[in-house]
Amino acid sequence: MYRFLNVHHAFALLLLLILVAPPVQAAAQAAPATLSITLATSTARPGERFNLQVLLTSDVPTRGLQLGLRFDPQVVQVDDVSAATFYSDWAGTNGGSTTVIPFIADNTLGKVSVGGIAVLGGPELGGPSGAGPVLNLELTARAPQSGQTTLEFTDVVVSTAEARSVPTVSTTGAAIVVDSSAGAAAPQPPVQDFNVEPSGMPAPVHVPPEGPSASAPNWVLVGGLSLLVGLLTYALIVFGQAALARVPLRGLRRRPR
């Protein structure tokens, strides 16, 4: 079933490229094209995510391409494949548009199904040429310790503006090396308790001047309060004694007859 879908996608893309390309009376001889990957060798640590791009170089205008990818799923996994800007930039400035047949990653079998990009509309016999990125790749290093694999192209077809396949397309894959010791992070200094300002820089830490601790009791204030409480207590005692001393005298007075 999977192989049938790949053949179906490839056939659909070729038919689409033929239908959307402007017709011509005589086809010109196409120059070779080249597909490559941005880094010939990529090194990553286990679990690290990284990005690559597929680059197309062509001396003649092209209207689209199709390709698949193959890799070792024990070493790396492909998280996403998306169209880059080589075709869409040209189409956007020349009154055209692009259509994409999805590139679907299978990280069990270690392949990306055949997908494609095609230019719709725009000037007759027109299309982007030169060099530019056609695909963005997002990958994750999967090997637990170390390993190596080659990211290879499969089922490559590049279409000219005359709806013909470029007769010679050279491809250069990429070596991906997973190494647990690659780019090991340097030992980090002890963590300090800084306040982080919105700018992302640590705010200065304010250290109180030397002297009595802010949390220590103020003995002058405590002494003053104690003295005040003592004076009030003494005044209450004296007043109370005087009041009690006058009570018996009032009781002994004789009432007038």
Q: Which residues pair with 123 in a beta bridge?
A: none
Q: In whole angstroms, what is the distance from residue 117 CA to residue 63 CA?
A: 8
Is residue 112 one of the residues assigned to a domain? yes
pLDDT of residue 154: 97
pTM score = 0.61
On the 0-12 / 13-18 / 19+ scale of CB atoms within 10 A, 56 is buried
Is residue 135 one of the residues assigned to a domain? yes
Q: In whole angstroms, what is the distance from residue 229 CA to residue 162 CA?
A: 107
pLDDT band at residue 228 using 50, 70 and 90 as cut-offs? low
Is residue 55 one of the residues assigned to a domain? yes
Q: What is the DSSP string of 212-248?
A: S-TTS--HHHHHHHHHHHHHHHHHHHHHHHHHHHHHH
Is residue 44 one of the residues assigned to a domain? yes
Q: HSE (CB half, 13 Å, CA atoms) of 206?
A: 1
How do residues 88-145 score in pLDDT, each as one tens digit?
A: 999 999 999 999 999 999 999 999 999 999 999 999 889 999 999 999 999 999 988 8
Is residue 186 one of the residues assigned to a domain? no
Q: In whole angstroms, what is the distance from residue 54 CA to residue 36 CA?
A: 6
Domain holding 133: CATH number? 2.60.40.680
Q: Which residues pair with 111 in a beta bridge?
A: 70, 106
**Residues 9, 38, 62, 99, CA torsion sign:** positive
Q: Could you tell me whether strands 111-121 and 105-106 are parallel, antiparallel, or unpaired per DSSP bridges?
A: antiparallel
Q: In whole angstroms, what is the distance from residue 7 CA to residue 14 CA?
A: 11
Is residue 137 one of the residues assigned to a domain? yes
> What percentage of the chain has pLDDT greater than the value 70?
59
Residue 130 belongs to what domain range? 2-21+39-175
Is residue 193 one of the residues assigned to a domain? no
How do residues 147-171 score in pLDDT, each as one tens digit?
A: 999 999 999 999 999 989 999 999 9
pLDDT of residue 145: 82
Q: In whole angstroms, what is the distance from residue 134 CA to residue 127 CA?
A: 13
Is residue 109 one of the residues assigned to a domain? yes
- What DSSP element (H or E) covers 156? strand 146-160
Q: Give every CB contact of residue 192 below 8 A, 6+ residues apart in sequence.
A: 202
- Greater model confidence, 192 or 253: 253
- How far, CA to CA in Å, does 24 sit from each of 28, 61, 110, 215? 9, 14, 40, 91
Q: Which residues pair with 140 in a beta bridge?
A: 49, 77
Domains in the chain, number:
1
Q: 68 with 115: CB under 8 angstroms?
A: yes
Q: Could you tell me whether strands 130-141 and 146-160 are parallel, antiparallel, or unpaired per DSSP bridges?
A: unpaired
